[in-house]
Structure 1
Amino acid sequence: MPFLENLTDQTPLELLVNVIDILLVWFVVYKLITIIKGTKAVQLLKGIFFIIIAYLITQALNLETLGWIMQQVLNWGFLAIIIIFQPEMRRALEQLGRGKLFSSSQLNEESERGRLIDAMSKSVSYMAKRRIGALISIERETGLSEYIETGIPMNSDITSELLINLFIPNTPLHDGAVIIQKNRIAAAACYLPLSESPFISKELGTRHRAALGISEVTDAITVIVSEETGAISLTANGDLHRNLSLEDFEVKLRRIWFGAEQQTADSSRWNWRGKKNG
């Protein structure tokens, strides 16, 4: 085989250089993946792979018209990639300029999420008892950068005290949503898209509609504390869980955050129409 012949013809030094070259390429690819992880670029990459696969199929089946369309898409794809991935490319260049592109910082995700849930529980409990309205959205796989840009940047550690202070009435940042990104408070006073569904219960206010709206377009977890009743609610994947006790809230938040497949049905689970399931 030509490949094996080329290997046997190389000196040990050349083999070592080639191995290092391959490892460096894989390392760069890995770092690029970590940069776009958690943003909408992940979904866009899936679309690009789909287009490439479709193009290969059209070539194999000799589908001329569809193949010509796919060829045009690929021809202009490089320019489209630059436009689409502009935020990620800018972030990579900024990290490269700060010397952080190849830095490794392994965090204990389980302890960080546990800390998040503990801070959320304490703050939600405090606000629910005093009927302080709150809206907190937690980024998961789909990026929330476009909504973060509508608010006031913070980039702060998550503490129950800070979360409570952000929603104290008549303070500059109490209106809008707090968005948590990568286990940090990314921004406050953010605008979330309101759900336009005509089937939402009329008793739900703007906070609940915003929480449902963001859950319909992303996979974010959003926590709501009602200003009128102090009730605790949670939205995820287009579902609204209303009137949760603090214990149920902690369990549901932990299950959804860790991606548990099985969730026990209980009386506090409501769908987005405001009716009890089951």
Structure 2
Amino acid sequence: MLFADLPLMKYLANIVDILLVWYVIYKLIMIVRGTKAVQLLKGIFVILLVRFISEIFQLQTIFRITDQVIYWGFLAIIIIFQPEIRRALEQLGRGKIFSRSSSREEEDQEGMLEAIFKAVDYMAKRRIGALISVERDTGMDDYVETGIELNSRVSAELLINIFIPNTPLHDGAVILQRNRVAAAACYLPLSESPFISKELGTRHRAAVGISEVTDSITVVVSEETGAVSLTKNGELHRDLSKDNFREMLTKELVTQITEKSVSPSRWNWRRKKNG
């Protein structure tokens, strides 16, 4: 029977069937992304490629070896990844298997926020100057290239160590991309706005400057007063309290805001020297 002769409902059912299969494949890829299962998939792909090439060029020995590896490989996968398979089945039973990718992204984002909160609180109490810029939609690769590439997992300890005075990386900005420390000692453009108080130093002008050309969120810790400020969309919010800083940064960076989130309270605009 020709495809065009199929009834309309059968035609639609085939389309839905294909879309569902692709959706499941996509979700499975999102689940294994960033886990050790990715390396396993790469290894399987290499074995299949070698088997395909050996079949074309009639390499009988290699073909038989790879054929046996594939034959027994599935049993090995079940044994090696037994904990991961069990965990996936448990999530399937709870109906959470397809929400894992988004929840993982949200967990990573919240982990990054906690690292920033802890590091900023530590540095503010000890008046350690800091400049941390978090990339959002607008790419910041041009500014990353001006610094020292790190590509490290975000942690409070790493951020604190970077900004310890008289260390090689403390002078400049840290740029965070996709929940990772992309680079340190980066140069950011200075704002030329005449509305910035002259009592503010280079860090604050750089924070405002980068917020004028990107949609990034930038945090500044003053080394003179320990005051914490935040910039976004060319605006400088100065001398934020600990609670207000957490509230603002969470509102701007967390992917999904729960119903329990409190709307931002008024921001503290005290004129206080914090260059």
When normalised by structure 2's length, the TM-score is 0.60
- Tell me the distance in 2 between the aligned counterparts of 1:145 and 1:138: 12
> What residue number does 2:224 align with?
228
- Cα contact 1:133–1:167 (8 A) shared by 2: yes
Letter in 1 for 2:253: W
> What residue number does 1:266 align with?
266
Given the superposition, is the C-alpha separation of residues 99 and 214 from structure 1 closer, same or farther in structure 2, using an over 3 Å criterion? farther
Which one of the candidate residues 187, 190, 194 is aligned to 1:194? 190
- Tell me the distance in 1 between the aligned counterparts of 2:116 and 2:172: 17
Shift of 1:109: 2.0
Given the superposition, is the C-alpha separation of residues 200 and 120 from structure 1 closer, same or farther in structure 2, using an over 3 Å criterion? same
The SS at the match of 1:122 is: helix
- Tell me the distance in 2 between the aligned counterparts of 1:227 and 1:7: 76
> Is residue 209 of structure 1 aligned with residue 205 of structure 2?
yes
The alignment covers a number of residue pairs equal to: 196
Deviations, residues 183-227 of structure 1 (Å, cap 9, x unaligned): 000100011111111221111111011110111111101000001
- Tell me the distance in 2 between the aligned counterparts of 1:5 and 1:123: 62
Shift of 1:99: 5.9
- Cα contact 2:211–2:232 (8 A) shared by 1: yes
> What residue number does 1:110 align with?
106
- Cα contact 2:244–2:264 (8 A) shared by 1: no
Q: Percent identity?
A: 58
The SS at the match of 2:239 is: strand
Runs of 4 or more, structure 1, over 2 Å off, are: 4-8, 258-265
Gaps of 5+ in 2: 30-40, 46-99
> What residue number does 1:149 align with?
145
- Cα contact 1:240–1:269 (8 A) shared by 2: no
Shift of 1:265: 4.6
Which one of the candidate residues 136, 139, 145 is aligned to 1:140? 136
Q: Which structure is larger by alpha-carbon Rg, 1 or 2?
A: 2
Q: How does 1:1-278 map to 2 (within 5 A)?
A: 6=4, 106=101, 108-258=104-254, 263-269=263-269
Given the superposition, is the C-alpha separation of residues 269 and 258 from structure 1 closer, same or farther in structure 2, using an over 3 Å criterion? farther
Given the superposition, is the C-alpha separation of residues 231 and 170 from structure 1 closer, same or farther in structure 2, using an over 3 Å criterion? same
> What residue number does 1:62 align with?
none
When normalised by structure 1's length, the TM-score is 0.60
Given the superposition, is the C-alpha separation of residues 5 and 254 from structure 1 closer, same or farther in structure 2, using an over 3 Å criterion? same
The SS at the match of 1:120 is: helix
Letter in 2 for 1:117: L
Gaps of 5+ in 1: 32-97
The SS at the match of 1:128 is: helix
Aligned CA-pair RMSD: 3.8
Given the superposition, is the C-alpha separation of residues 175 and 247 from structure 1 closer, same or farther in structure 2, using an over 3 Å criterion? same
Given the superposition, is the C-alpha separation of residues 99 and 162 from structure 1 closer, same or farther in structure 2, using an over 3 Å criterion? same
- Tell me the distance in 2 between the aligned counterparts of 1:200 and 1:228: 17
- Tell me the distance in 2 between the aligned counterparts of 1:187 and 1:7: 60
- Cα contact 2:127–2:222 (8 A) shared by 1: yes
- Tell me the distance in 2 between the aligned counterparts of 1:143 and 1:189: 18
The SS at the match of 1:251 is: helix
Tell me whether 259-268 or 192-201 shows the greater mean CA deviation.
259-268
- Tell me the distance in 1 between the aligned counterparts of 2:223 and 2:127: 5
- Tell me the distance in 1 between the aligned counterparts of 2:211 and 2:144: 15
Shift of 1:176: 0.6
The SS at the match of 1:224 is: strand
Shift of 1:124: 0.5
The SS at the match of 1:234 is: strand
- Tell me the distance in 1 between the aligned counterparts of 2:269 and 2:109: 23
